[in-house]
Amino acid sequence: MSMMKKLSAEVIGTFWLVLGGCGSAVLAAGFPDVGIGLLGASLAFGLTVLTMAYAVGGISGGHFNPAVSLGLALAGRFEMKNLPAYWGAQVVGAVLAAGVLFVIVSGKADFAGVGGFASNGYGDASPGGFNMLAALVTEVVMTAVFLIVILGATAKGVPAGFAPIAIGLCLTLIHLVSIPVTNTSVNPARSTEVALFAEGPALAQLWLFWVAPLAGAAIGALIWKALLADD
């Protein structure tokens, strides 16, 4: 498979993750009477990964997340030399999705600003008012577990074809737990692009949503290699 096809798959997959996940939160979660709420937004993020893992996962591996790419590289499942290209493709996909979402949101008749725009944050920017330490621990732990699930679901000996289901449901569960804390990142690309449009402290706090997911991915990969991998 050519690198161009792999990168195109990562752009498309990350685009869908951000548009579907963040779009559900911005457009549908709080809609009067028929809003999908926390449960619906959580499920939406899981469904974006599940659907795109089946659609293009066979082309690129279905990372759609810089933290996942790093974790897979550290676990020996992905070539480290391809990491910058994958990160670039993921950021491009997320930028495009955030731009499309902004166009949609700004088309509302009473539009007066995007507000938080599904951005991630801590302190006053946390949905539940959780502090920086709580946000850091949440993002590290959730991303570490996410990587363990990804590595386990795609390991040799596991029934083929079911990995996207386990991974999508894991991401759903992660959101159910952590939306009140950070609005759930576990994905630096997802956090970066909405922060570019959001009002408030999203850009100033963005560092945490790169550091914590990348650290969590590294921890998850190392735990897998040290304790769980079938050598």
Is the pTM higher than 0.85?
A: yes
Residues 6+ apart with CB under 8 A from 74: 217, 218, 221, 222, 225
pLDDT band at 231 (very low <50, low <70, confident <90, very high): low
What is residue 159's predicted lDDT score, i.e. its pLDDT? 86
Which tens digits make up the pLDDT trace of 174-199?
A: 999 999 999 999 999 999 999 999 99
Q: Where are the domains of the chain?
A: 3-225
pLDDT band at 114 (very low <50, low <70, confident <90, very high): very high
Which tens digits make up the pLDDT trace of 66-77?
A: 999 999 999 999
Instruction: Using the structure block, give the residue that is written with the tokens 């577990």.
Output: 145
Q: Does the structure show a pLDDT above 80 at 31? A: no
Please name the fold of domain 3-225: Glycerol uptake facilitator protein (1.20.1080)
Q: What is the maximal distance between C-alpha atoms in the chain?
A: 59
Span 84-96, average pLDDT: 98
Span 201-219, average pLDDT: 98
Single out the residue of 18, 32, 213 nearest to residue 118, CA to CA.
Answer: 18
Q: Which SS3 state, helix, strand or coil, does residue 196 take? A: helix
Which tens digits make up the pLDDT trace of 100-112?
A: 999 999 999 889 8
Q: Does the structure show a pLDDT above 80 at 98? A: yes
